[in-house]
Amino acid sequence: MMARFCQAASLFALALGWGPAAWAEEAPSKGADQPAAPEIIVTAQFRAQRLQDTPIAISAMGRDLLEKRSATDIVSAAAGAPNVNLSKGQGGFGQFASVFIRGVGQSDIHFAVEPGVGMYVDDVYYGVMSGAVFQLLDTDRVEIARGPQGTLSGKNSIGGSVKLYSRKPSFQPDAYAEVTAGGRNLLSGRAAANFTIVPDRLAMRFSVSGRRRDGFMQRLDYACATGGTATQRTGADCVLGRQGGEAVWSARASLLWTPASGVENVLSFDTTQDQSENPAQKPVFQSPAWAGSAHYITPWGSYTNYETYQSRPTGASPAPAYPMSPNSTLDAKGISNNLNIDLGGHIRLTSITAYRYSSTSLSAQIDQTPASISDQSWHLLHRQFTQEIRLSGALGAWADWTVGGYYYNATGASEGRVTISGGVAPGGGGIYTDAINTPLGHLPALQLVNARLTWDSPQGDWQASVAVTNLFNTFYAEATSLNTVVPYFAGSYILAQPRQWQVSLRRRF
């Protein structure tokens, strides 16, 4: 058991942001027949600015662009941003976001190592990377600021920051519903709506989404697939289960209160429940030092492995075998309050108060075989309270300023079980730690290609789309050396799913 208690308070340095005229050239005039490009308003410098007028290295994607890219979570949204590497399930750990910007980031799931890239939802900082693969639930925009220079995000954001902003409630009628179906029994849906409670005073927005899809990696029973008799199968075929499946739903409720002119308060509650399968992995190399005469490598190009999720300790006096979960679960919820007051004279006060809770259970197997070379099971529990206060204003037309304070109070507990076989030889014999690196890999000759076709009705109330990912069905695996524990062994993570199609239908009200 490991527990962590953290309190932090910091004072933002005075941030002077010189006027946009000093940084951006004047845009060329547009002809009467040339459509204007859609504007994206960002708040990376704690004030509303057009994206093209923000003098820092930033990428922003509005909700229209996110829809065109069929982005469903932060991983797919960040795929098009330069110098950004955001992946899910790094190291075989599901529900874990590994984020690097310009080579700066973190890939350790544990609380003792905090992120190098800040993750934010509606300006609320997330202190851990477990459970940080956020679903794009009624998202207004995504901002990615590339550090270390120019960003004002603060705590643990030396590499930059990734910020998601949800759509706020409004007093205008607005609603939509969308349903998607596709291969591997894909079924997903999302919907959102505004409700005016008191005209010009109180409004509410509610949004919900869900997604389910079968896994693409089949886990085969080794004895059954190779003609043996001691099998664990329960069905007519040799399939024990799958990896890479999705089962997640999210909901958010926001309440907008405008008691007076220049005062806006947004109270939000959100929850995410995820029961997805563990990330898909495939071994590409084995050593006879631990595999003996068994052959655990399935054919190249096939989405199969021999993982059993049964850990079998070895050695002189081994512990009993025990089962491991084939799923990575997440229970996350939080409440936040964002208060903005216009004090007059170009001065604005912002207060952001939030409490978040997350509980994550995950397991990882290095070898993806029945050999149980190195097995890990973890349960991570995290609670945090944050309070941020900002005061911002302008000095005439030539300078903008921001000053503020930030408080962070978090507790975390990490408990788990790690089983390393008694040695590299069958039957055990001691842990072998010879660090011999033998990186293996396979790069496809044809890069990954995605395609999407969208139709909008003339009135703009209906939208239909067809999307295909990995159009040419490229099998893409990258091997990772794991020889610091087990020599001459390399595992592989599947980075590309097989070709997948989906059809979506959206109705705006």
Checking if the pLDDT of 423 tops 80, the result is no
Average pLDDT over residues 174-193: 94
E strand spans, 21-116: 41-42, 49-50, 58-62, 84-88, 97-101, 104-106
Who's near 423: CB < 8 A, 6+ residues apart?
314, 315, 429, 430, 431, 432
User: What are the tens digits of pLDDT across the range 430-467?
Assistant: 343 333 333 334 444 445 677 888 888 888 889 898 98
- What CA–CA distances, in Å, run from 28 to 20, 25, 34, 63, 154? 16, 9, 12, 26, 36
- Cα separations (Å) of 297 from 93, 203, 226, 364? 22, 58, 12, 18
240 vs 290, residue with greater confidence: 240
5-58 confidence digits (pLDDT tens): 333 333 333 333 333 322 232 333 444 444 455 677 777 667 676 777 676 777
Phi-psi region of 123 (alpha: psi -120 to 50; beta: other; left: phi over 0): left
Mean pLDDT across the chain: 77
Top-confidence residue, 289 or 395: 395
Spatial CB neighbours of 53, under 8 Å, sequence gap ≥ 6: 20, 23, 24
What local confidence, expressed as pLDDT, does residue 95 receive? 67
Give the pLDDT confidence score for residue 484 in this predicted structure. Answer: 40
pLDDT tens for each residue of 110-144: 777 777 788 888 889 888 877 667 778 888 888 88
Token digits for 294? Answer: 């068994």
pLDDT of residue 480: 46
Q: How many CB atoms lie within 10 A of CB 24?
A: 13
Give percent of the chain above pLDDT 70.
75
Q: Are 275 and 248 in contact (CB under 8 A)?
A: yes
| The token pair that represents 78 in the structure block | 């960040």
Answer whether 401's CB lies under 8 Å from 426's CB: no
Cβ atoms of residues 94 and 328 within 8 Å: yes
pLDDT, tens only, 395-417: 877 888 888 898 999 998 888 88
Q: What is the CATH number of domain 2-27+35-508?
A: 2.40.170
Q: How many CA atoms lie within 13 A of 366 on its CB side?
A: 24
CA distance 136 to 298: 35
Per-residue pLDDT at 486 exceeds 50: no
SS3 content of the chain, % helix, strand, coil (to 5): 5, 50, 45
Sequence-distant (≥ 6) Cβ neighbours of residue 463 within 8 angstroms: 454, 455, 456, 457, 504, 505, 506, 508
Highest mean pLDDT among 189-203, 299-313, 365-379, 469-483: 189-203
Strands 462-469 and 124-126 turn out to be unpaired
Residue range 378-387, pLDDT digits in tens? 888 999 999 9
Alpha helices in 376-466 (DSSP H): none
Question: In terms of DSSP bridges, do strands 217-220 and 304-305 run parallel, antiparallel, or are they unpaired?
Answer: parallel
- pLDDT band at residue 428 using 50, 70 and 90 as cut-offs: very low
Give the number of other Cβ atoms within 10 Å of residue 36's Cβ. Answer: 6
